[in-house]
Amino acid sequence: MLSYSGPKTDISNEVTKFISGHEWGLMLLDEVQVVPAQKFSKITDDVKAHCKLGLTATLVREDGKIEDLHFQIGPKLYEANWIDLQDRGYLARVRCFEVWCEMTSDFYNEYYKNSGNHRLKEALFFNNPNKFMACHHLVKFHEARGDKIMIFCDHIFALKEYAYRLGIPFICGDVSERERQNIISHFRDGN
């Protein structure tokens, strides 16, 4: 809400003014790797806090701005090796694979032609048909094994499109709390 730059309701303006008008003891930022993004970096300036603490499981950014966190939040204080956490039983055992999905030639040509149009480029790489086919294959493979499957996506349009095409539920800000709880319960319990 604080990072949203579009029109706000009176209540949103009131809450924003209240938050930025006070000095806080602790500012706790989950998924701190997003803070260097232009939308979110303003928050660390607007909200005054004696102590800022960032948490993340992925201290990585493709744009190289992860170093900005040192100035926005402070130095890294603690890092745990995920393999150690897995061995101690805090994390489930996983096997990770990276799947590269080249753009179709049509998508790539549009992507290349529109180098200045970031929104169009983003839409093209999120909606790459090869990426969808790879996702579909992986879902079917893991469904056949009886695995639980969760798909994450940063792009709401792509999230909804994947869910629609795969015939699976999705959770985003549009989903009611009741529906969200039903989806989570079904995922957890298989009911």
Question: For residue 55, what is the domain's CATH number?
Answer: 3.40.50.300
Confidence (pLDDT) at 41: 82
DSSP reduced 3-state for 53: strand
- 8 Å CB contact between 35 and 72: yes
- Are 124 and 178 in the same domain? yes
DSSP class of residue 103? P
Q: Is residue 82 part of a domain?
A: yes
pLDDT at 125: 86
- pTM (2 d.p.): 0.59
* pLDDT, tens digit only, all 191 positions of the chain: 666 666 778 888 888 889 889 999 999 999 899 889 887 888 888 889 999 999 987 888 888 888 888 888 888 898 888 889 899 988 888 777 889 999 999 999 999 998 888 889 988 988 999 999 999 999 999 999 998 888 888 888 899 999 999 999 999 888 899 999 999 999 988 75
Residue 94, in any domain of the structure: no
In a domain, 97, yes or no: no
Q: Are 110 and 119 in contact (CB under 8 A)?
A: no
pLDDT at site 169: 93
Domain boundaries, position 19? 10-87
Give 175: exposed, middle or buried? Use CB within 10 Å, 0-12, 13-18, 19+. Answer: middle
Residue 177 in any domain: the answer is yes
Give domain status of residue 52, yes or no.
Answer: yes
Instruction: Give 23's strand partners.
Output: 48
Residue where one domain finishes, among candidates 57, 87, 117: 87
Q: Is residue 4 part of a domain?
A: no
**160 is a domain residue:** yes
Q: How many domains does the chain have?
A: 2
Looking at residue 182, its amino acid is: N
83 and 111 inside one domain: no
> Do 61 and 128 share a domain, yes or no?
no
